[in-house]
Amino acid sequence: MLGELRKCCVNIPQRWIFALMCFFALFNAYAMRACLSIAITEMVVPTTIAEDILDDTCPATDVEVPSNETVQIKGTYEWDEYTQGLILSSFYWGYIVTHLPGGMIADTYGGKYTLGIGILLTAIFTILTPVAVYWGDSDALIILRVLMGLGEGTTYPAINVLLAQWTPPEERSRTGSFVYAGALIGTVYATTVSGLILHYSSVGWPMVFYVIGTTSIIWFVIWLLACYNSPRDHPFISKNEVDYLKERMSEHTHEKPPAVPWRHILASKPLWAVIIALIGFNWSILTIVTDLPKYMSGVLKFSVQNNGYLTSLVYLCMWIGGTISSWLADYLIAKELMSMTKVRKIGSIIALTSSAIFIVAASYAGCDRALVVGMFTIGMTIMGFAFPSVMVNALDLSPNYAGTLMALTNGISALTGIASPYIIGIMTPNQTLSEWRFVFWILFGVSSVSNLVFLLYGSGEVEYWNDPEFVNAEYERRKKKSIEEVRVA
């Protein structure tokens, strides 16, 4: 049986299979994370808007109800905007906790099981979501979302470790962008499928969590059979592909690098620059992923079905932007038309500052639904330039410590996932245009400042402390110094 599989699969480049499976890892991770953003619009009783602010809202013209029918108020749970903000942000309370341990475990033992088990646990908690809500209302849902975050916290660090083992430098932009785009397509899937389920399913919102959780469990089974920590471990990979990857990656990627050089890592200006850039990016993307469905529903008054379609369109366009820009980035680097650093910085300008301009413009389009969707679509399309820039930059700095660096960069920047929904929940109690406009101006400010820091201090070059010889020499030097100090004492 094993021989037949080897004969069948040996001619398929296994780094492509790996990239596809990592794509679906993020696809499922973000589907489980994002489905609540759509489902919650049907779970809660709608906000009652006071008469004195009706002029600052949009009319509900998306669905016409015959005059002889009774309009039923959707929703069961009376969770105010503050409570909804806590629910949506609680995922990130657990998410940031397992980033650093997950990165260090993946660096030491490999990313396969670190990634796979994290997704499996999140899938189980997703399926249990309806039970938790029925049993313990919002408190139980918050606890379950924290547990989901703990499971998913290992995702990006483990994927970065695997990318460092499977992706040569000249393919890094497009492979990394393809893999990271799984987050967008997963969100598209979640919002589209959730909208359809909420519209057609007799079971209602619980079916959203059953379907998306089950899909992730199916991925886990395939992942165990198809993917491995490195090309050296893969039973079906061709010798040509192993030799190619070894040749292209041997300079900066080592099988067993020394212990993490924390002192040098924490003093690295390029590393802190990408952390700050990712804070700006995550503030933008998490604001949109978590709260765009609420904006579409609460402010623009789209129906739940159209909400799912239009939100999906926005994410789909971001994926298109990320795909096109990643191929362009790799072309410029491979042809030596631009340095790695310049490619990363130009991408950050487009992804952070330029996209934020269109998002702010959407809030000034008022109730012109077509124009609002157009502005969001353009803004999110060019936000896709973050994938071949700030999203892959940690891998540029140190392939040997890819998991630890991703844990630091994505873990610290994920704090925005706690702050953003909480702040938005406080700032938008009435779901009005003026309240949301201020939210988008904050997004613009955070994105622009973080982009400026990256332009000043960011880099696309490998850092000196990635070299095992340097780290070992530094360790020996400090060891001798300690021995001499003991002798003198």
Give 29-76 as a DSSP string.
HHHHHHHHHHHHHHHBPPPPPPGGGGGGS----SS---TTSPPPPP-S
Same fold, 9-47+78-237 and 257-488: yes
CA distance 316 to 185: 6
Q: Please list, in sequence order, all residues whose beta carbon lies within 8 angstroms of the beta carbon of residue 185, skipping any fewer than 6 positions away.
A: 23, 27, 315, 316, 319
Q: Is residue 268 classed as helix, strand or coil in its secondary structure?
A: coil
Give me the pLDDT at residue 5, please: 47
pLDDT at position 25 over 50: yes
The whole-model pTM stands at 0.73
- What average pLDDT does range 74-86 have in this prediction? 78
Q: Would you place residue 66 in the very low, low, confident or very high pLDDT band (cuts 50, 70, 90)? A: very low
Give me the pLDDT at residue 488, please: 67
With CA atoms as reference, report the closest residue to 402 among 174, 177, 156.
156
pLDDT at position 239 over 90: no
For the chain, the average pLDDT equals 83
75-79, 92-96, 192-196: lowest mean pLDDT where?
Answer: 75-79
91-95, 156-160, 227-231, 308-312: lowest mean pLDDT where?
Answer: 308-312
pLDDT at position 52 over 70: no
pLDDT at position 6 over 70: no
pLDDT at position 221 over 80: yes
Give me the pLDDT at residue 62, please: 52
Q: Are 274 and 390 in contact (CB under 8 A)?
A: yes
Q: Of 8-17, 198-207, 247-256, 370-379, where does the model show the most confidence?
A: 370-379
Give me the pLDDT at residue 63, please: 46
pLDDT at position 28 over 60: yes
Give me the pLDDT at residue 64, please: 42
Higher pLDDT, 369 or 73: 369
Give me the pLDDT at residue 251, please: 55
Q: Which residues in 14-32 are b (16+ Cβ under 10 Å) and which e? A: bbebbbebbbbbbbbbbbb
Q: Would you place residue 367 in the very low, low, confident or very high pLDDT band (cuts 50, 70, 90)? A: confident
Q: Would you place residue 61 in the very low, low, confident or very high pLDDT band (cuts 50, 70, 90)? A: low
Give me the pLDDT at residue 57, please: 66
Per CATH, the homologous superfamily of domain 9-47+78-237 is: MFS general substrate transporter like domains (1.20.1250.20)
Give me the pLDDT at residue 401, please: 82
41-55, 92-106, 121-135, 441-455: lowest mean pLDDT where?
Answer: 41-55
Summarised one tens digit per residue, pLDDT across range 162-172 is: 888 888 877 77
Higher pLDDT, 84 or 447: 447
pLDDT at position 451 over 50: yes
pLDDT at position 7 over 60: no
For the domain bounded by 257-488, which CATH number is listed? 1.20.1250.20
Q: Structural domain boundaries of the chain?
A: 9-47+78-237, 257-488
- Whole-angstrom CA distances from 187 to 48, 309, 466 are 29, 11, 34
Q: Please list, in sequence order, all residues whose beta carbon lies within 8 angstroms of the beta carbon of residue 68, skipping any fewer than 6 positions away.
A: none
Give me the pLDDT at residue 115, please: 95
pLDDT at position 111 over 80: yes
% pLDDT > 70, the chain? 88
Q: Rounded to the nearest 5 degrees, what angle is found at the Cα of 216, between the Cα atoms of 380 and 388? A: 35
Q: Would you place residue 254 in the very low, low, confident or very high pLDDT band (cuts 50, 70, 90)? A: low
